[in-house]
Structure 1
Amino acid sequence: MTRTYKSDVSASLHELASDLHEVGLIDKATMRHFDESCLTPIHEFTAEDIRKLREREQVSQTIFAAYLNVSKDSVSQWERGQKQPAGPSLKLLSLVERKGLSSIA
């Protein structure tokens, strides 16, 4: 599973914590804390949020969809509020929001 971290330092800390968890020196509750603090946060996006994000990046729905590896119809439905992004798409939208479209190119 690919993880997206807030920074290189967070990635290193999380990797260390994961190793300590594997050998039994860190419990599950502590590991969850590391997950929350090191991994890129995800939140729900409204239709308006998605449209503004795409427009901020100055790309068409087709290009935006290609970067997110979804169909143009999915982006269109998200922007109209007919469907909500989930899973990997939601994670990618969070990354684009924080770091720009070039972060997932």
Structure 2
Amino acid sequence: MANKAKPRSRLLEAVHESAGDLHRAGLITKRRMAEYDALCLEPVPDYDAAAVRALREKLKLSQTVLAAAINTSASTVRSWEGGAKKPNGTAAKLLNLIDRKGLEAIL
């Protein structure tokens, strides 16, 4: 699958890579591959309002610029920072990537 989270260990990295090869060859299903993803990859942490704001301020970005970088709207970033919503799915993964590797990782 396209999940690029960091493997928990070298052994699990090898298992996940083998499962990915089997999936690409059509020998295991998409559902089974999702199970390997859940088993082998570290979950993306939750980002609450304070975490989103802290990340944005650490990078010295406005809400509008952060929104553009992760392809969402400024009102969505405002909702995250206000606590009305939480980033999930792709947005949470992008925030985690930016948090770990910097904004340059997605630009």
Q: % of aligned pairs identical?
A: 41
Residues 100 and 4 of structure 1, relative CA distance in 2, 3 Å threshold: same
Q: Which deviates more, 14-23 or 92-101?
A: 14-23
Q: Tell whether 2:100 aligns with 1:93.
A: no
Residue correspondence of structure 1 range 1-105 to structure 2 within 5 A:
2-6=2-6, 13=14, 14-20=16-22, 22-23=26-27, 28=32, 32=35, 34-36=36-38, 39=41, 41-105=43-107
- Give the alignment's TM-score, normalised by structure 2: 0.72
Give the Cα separation in 1 of the matches to 2:40 and 2:71.
25
Count of aligned pairs between the two proteins: 98
Give the Cα separation in 2 of the matches to 1:62 and 1:40.
29
Where 1:63 maps in the other structure, the secondary structure is helix
Q: CA deviation at 1:38?
A: 5.5
Letter of the structure 1 residue corresponding to residue 6 of structure 2: K
- Give the alignment's TM-score, normalised by structure 1: 0.73
Give the Cα separation in 2 of the matches to 1:17 and 1:89.
26
- Structure 2: gaps (5+ residues): none
Letter of the structure 2 residue corresponding to residue 19 of structure 1: D
Residues 57 and 37 of structure 1, relative CA distance in 2, 3 Å threshold: farther
The two structures, once aligned, show a CA RMSD in angstroms of 2.8
